[in-house]
Structure 1
Amino acid sequence: MSILRSFIVFEGLDGAGTTTQIKNLARYYEFNRRPYYITNEPTSNPIGLLIRDVLQKKVVTTPEALALLYASDRHDHLYNPSYGIERITEEGRVVMSDRYFYSSIAYQSVQCNPDFVRTINSAFPSPEFIIFVDTPVEECMNRIEKRGGVKELFDRAEYLTSVRNNYLREFENLPEGVNLLVVDGSKPIDTVEMEIRKYLSSFSL
């Protein structure tokens, strides 16, 4: 599996705080005039919007079909000639993505055969860096409740517990060249931010 350089993926449970930490890192890069690009999965492109409808329970489909939709959205996210991640990294920008195929493996493998999920994502390049914001399930559920709105498809404590276990299991077998940082997402936001910055700075990022 190839590794996409200058590609940083933030992973975590819903409510873990990945979006906040990406914004904080972007602000740091902005201050230091480092070119960067923020993105996320599912995307806001047509396939990604369909996925969001499924997550918000507006559309019903099978777990396997949802896993395939994620893989299709990811392919476009990586290789689209206009806005694909691969092209953006070639321009010299650091790409930070809120979720990548590790989310598919962690979330979809709860309801699908894990080998099926891995197979449909096996051709995608690995990121150079993974930042796993490991926030306790109970804390994530509290944050989800506080932000209000309609709970998404997977926002249940028992489901998120299985997701976390899948993440940790997957991270035990990362390919050589993929760098993983696990941070405690229950710590203060600025403490988590400094841990991430210190870690990436050790790689001159």
Structure 2
Amino acid sequence: MIINNYIVFEGIDGAGTTTQIKLLAERFPKENVFTTAEPTGSETGKFLRRMLKGEFSVDERTASYLFAADRCEHIYGKCGIIEQTQNGKTVLSDRYFFSSLAYQSVTCGKELPELLNSPFPLPELLFYFKIDPEKSLKRVLSRGGNIEIYEKLDFQKKTAEAYDEVIKLYDGTEKGRGMTVITVDAEKSIEEIAEFIWNCVKNLPIHKA
């Protein structure tokens, strides 16, 4: 299943997805766009964000279940992704289940994340931000503040490799049928990336909806 008018931005920490979603959203009339992110702002998402900050720890398998539960509510819950798109809005999401397939596969293996996320529908368009982990981590560190538990170089390198594998599984394959995957050179300037993304989106039916 494909969720029409649903665009997802994916990439390792520091790849620039959050910045580019904000810039893309500014190109749309406010009443026609809805921006969101995972983990969500729900109670499950708040719990996960505290975990990511290192306030407490859970078994990695538990984390996989929690991410999937948060995602289920994100898609199907009140004011969720499906409801927003049915109301005629284009939804821009910072991360989706591709993140779990990459990050959680590093922590607890591929089998559980694949099982938990297999029922979820695909977005219409996926932007995959590809960047060298060393460069992305420098961006993360430059922000200041606390570093999240996954924001370590060795982990980010493994996650980047896992992301590449995940994208290959969906890009132009039967598994990703109906979804368009576009790889973004996330090492370019913010302005260059923003223009590239807009050129990919501006003539699509989703923008005209």
TM-score scaled by structure 2? 0.93
Quote the sequence identity (%): 34
Between the aligned partners of 1:20 and 1:60, the Cα distance in structure 2 is: 29
Per the alignment, residue 146 of structure 2 pairs with 150
Q: Does 2:73 match 1:76?
A: yes
Alignment deviations for residues 127-160 of structure 1 (CA, whole Å, 9 cap, x no partner):
1111111121111111111111111010011111
Cα-Cα RMSD: 1.1
Give secondary structure in 1 for the equivalent of 2:27. Answer: helix
Within 5 Å, give how 1:1-205 maps onto structure 2. 2-30=1-29, 35-80=32-77, 82-174=78-170, 175-204=176-205, 205=207
Match of 1:21, SS?
helix
Cα distance, 1:34 vs structure 2: 6.5
Matched positions, count:
201
Partners of 1:152 and 1:56 in 2: CA distance:
5
Q: Offset at 1:203?
A: 2.3
**Structure 1 gap segments, 5+ residues each:** none
Moved over 3 A (4+): none
Residue aligning to 2:173: none
- In 2, Cα distance between equivalents of 1:27 and 1:136: 28
| Secondary structure class of the residue paired with 1:173 | helix
Structure 2 residues without counterparts, runs of 5 or longer: 171-175
Distance 2:165 2:94 in 1: 20
In the alignment, the residues of structure 2 paired with residue 104 and residue 182 of structure 1 have an alpha-carbon distance, to the nearest angstrom, of 18
Determine the C-alpha separation between the residues in 2 that align with 1:133 and 1:164.
10
Normalised by the length of structure 1, the TM-score is: 0.95
Question: What SS does structure 2 have at the residue aligned with 1:177?
Answer: coil
- Distance in 2 between residues matched to 1:34 and 1:186, nearest whole Å: 31
Query: What is the alpha-carbon distance in structure 2 between the residues aligned to residue 26 and residue 202 of structure 1?
Result: 15
Distance 2:26 2:85 in 1: 19
One-letter code aligned to 1:24: L
Query: Displacement of 1:199 after TM fit?
Result: 1.1
CA deviations over 1:77-96 (Å, ceiling 9, x no partner): 1111x211111100010000
SS at match of 1:16: coil
